[in-house]
Amino acid sequence: MLESPRVEHAATFAELLNASVGAWDFINWGLVPRDLLWAHAFCAHGAELVETGEDIIFNAFERSGGACIGRIDLHSFDLEAPRCEIGYVGDPRRSGQGLMREAVLAVIELGFTMGLARIEAISDVRNERAIRFALGMGFEREGVVRHRERDPQGELCSQVLMAKFPGEAAL
């Protein structure tokens, strides 16, 4: 189940994040445990980004039980192209169950239904898990962009650029 972020998601999102510390090594805000106050502000900021139309963000929940299993966002839109980037984090405790794959593919389909011609996934070259995940959903590896950003440790890092196009099936 996908829902736009709300402050009511804070407790379950904090639980997900805190259970994922150590697995989200390439995400600045996912490196350390967070309290409910931080999660409340994070969810409120996500809701604001959705409300202003800057990003499309979904928190993904299990259909049974309602646990938060991840977060997916479409951001950095260029409507002239038309394209955007996708970001996602999933609960490593549920890895291999296909839950995040199903949720991410639904968000990708939404993007293409909105008229996007290209959705990009960009990952640190060392983040093999994220790269495998994107390739498994049908993204094509286009190349490496060297020294594109700073990693959570402040070092310049290179990133893999991948893209998916409408009508191309997941593997």
Mean pLDDT of 43-61: 95
- For strands 140-150 and 118-124, give the pairing: unpaired
Which are the contacts of 34, defined by CB distance < 8 A and separation ≥ 6?
14, 17, 18, 42
Query: Which has the minimum average pLDDT: 16-25, 119-128, 161-170?
Result: 16-25
93-126 pLDDT, tens digit per residue, is: 888 888 899 999 999 999 999 999 999 999 999 9
pTM for this predicted structure: 0.89
Q: Is the predicted pLDDT of residue 171 greater than 70, yes or no?
A: no
What rounded mean pLDDT belongs to the chain? 90
The b/e string for 117-143 (b: 16+ C-beta within 10 A; e otherwise) is ebbbbbbbeebeebbebbbebbbeeee
Quick: pLDDT tens for 118-163: 999 999 999 898 999 999 999 999 999 999 888 777 889 899 999 9
Beta strands in 20-153 (DSSP E): 56-61, 68-78, 83-90, 118-124, 140-150
The whole-number pLDDT of residue 27 equals: 75
Residue 26, pLDDT above cutoff 80? no
Q: What CA–CA distance (Å, rounded) separates 93 from 1? A: 18
Strands of the chain, DSSP E: 2-3, 56-61, 68-78, 83-90, 118-124, 140-150, 156-164
Cα–Cα distances in angstroms (integers) from residue 56 to residues 20, 47, 96, 136, 158, in the given order? 23, 9, 25, 22, 26
pLDDT band with cut points at 50, 70 and 90 for residue 47:
very high
Task: Kindly state the average pLDDT of the residues 49-67.
Answer: 91
Domain 2-118: state its class.
alpha beta
**Greater model confidence, 8 or 167:** 8
For residues 129 and 120, what is the distance between their CA atoms, to the nearest angstrom?
A: 16
pLDDT at position 48, please?
A: 96
Beta bridge partners of 86: 74, 121
CA triple 117-121-125, angle to 5 deg: 145
CA–CA separation, 128 vs 99, rounded Å? Answer: 19
Higher pLDDT, 132 or 171: 132
Q: Tokens standing for 122? A: 């960009």
Residue 19 — very low, low, confident or very high, per pLDDT cuts 50/70/90? confident
